[in-house]
A = this chain, B = another copy of it.
């Protein structure tokens, strides 16, 4: 499985993804699921992927035109005129890749090759935008009514984001919130694993404001992980106690 979150703030976009892939519990690897392309001063586009690894790597490969010699490559995302066009193009490639693999594999392959993608970015002169692209190639866009999108193992880490999110929060708090959400997911589900990739896209900067890989020995993540347990327990004890009526 996978866990990726894209979050929309007034100040910009924050993305975090894990890196664990597995084909059975006896075949676990680390693969990057976050990919970023940019034209300095003009656009920044970042995607996170969940689902079948062959499918998602194929889509990324096609976006980067890796079938061609390096000097002939031409990433169409860098020329699309809107983020909506970028989402459509990725959706088209994703759908075609899923379909093509499935066609050769009949009913046995049904659903096995699907993937989902979160797309975030901004092109100069337009707003920062955040999309979730489905394996069928269609997509939805986040808004401040539904300001964060998740793919993969989404449920464990959702309650804390629902409770902690605020569109005015600064990037540092948003990163902290995502770390807590990822920590809850990591604790509950082996199929999501460290290291994590983090990317902050500040409005109108067209450069990552912050980009990092958070590894097992990251002191901040370790501090969050150990103090969140204690903080949750104190929060729990601060709640009013339940009383039996001794009926």
- Taking Cβ atoms with an 8 Å cutoff, the residues of A that contact B are 153, 155-160, 162-164, 171-173, 175-177, 179-180, 184-185, 187-189, 200, 209-210, 220, 223-224, 227-229, 231-236, 238-245, 247
Inter-subunit contact A236/B231 (CB<8 Å): yes
Inter-subunit contact B234/A176 (CB<8 Å): no
Inter-subunit contact B236/A234 (CB<8 Å): no
Counting every copy of the chain, the complex holds 2
Contact partner, A242, options B162, B172, B209, B229, Cβ 8 Å: B172
Given contacts A231-B238, A243-B172, contact A159 B158 (CB under 8 A): no
Assembled-state Cα–Cα distance A184/B184 (Å): 13
Interface centre among A171, A184, A243 (most CB of B within 10 A): A184
Minimum CB–CB distance from A58 to chain B (whole Å) comes to 29
Contact partner, A231, options B180, B227, B235, Cβ 8 Å: B235
> Which of chain B's residues have a CB closer than 8 A to the CB of A220?
240, 242
Inter-subunit contact A162/B176 (CB<8 Å): no
Inter-subunit contact B233/A180 (CB<8 Å): no
Given contacts A241-B176, A242-B176, contact A155 B188 (CB under 8 A): yes
> Which of chain B's residues have a CB closer than 8 A to the CB of A234?
235, 238
> Which of chain B's residues have a CB closer than 8 A to the CB of A188?
155, 158-159, 162
Assembled-state Cα–Cα distance A163/B234 (Å): 11
> Which of chain B's residues have a CB closer than 8 A to the CB of A185?
159
> Which of chain B's residues have a CB closer than 8 A to the CB of A158?
156, 188
Inter-subunit contact B210/A244 (CB<8 Å): yes
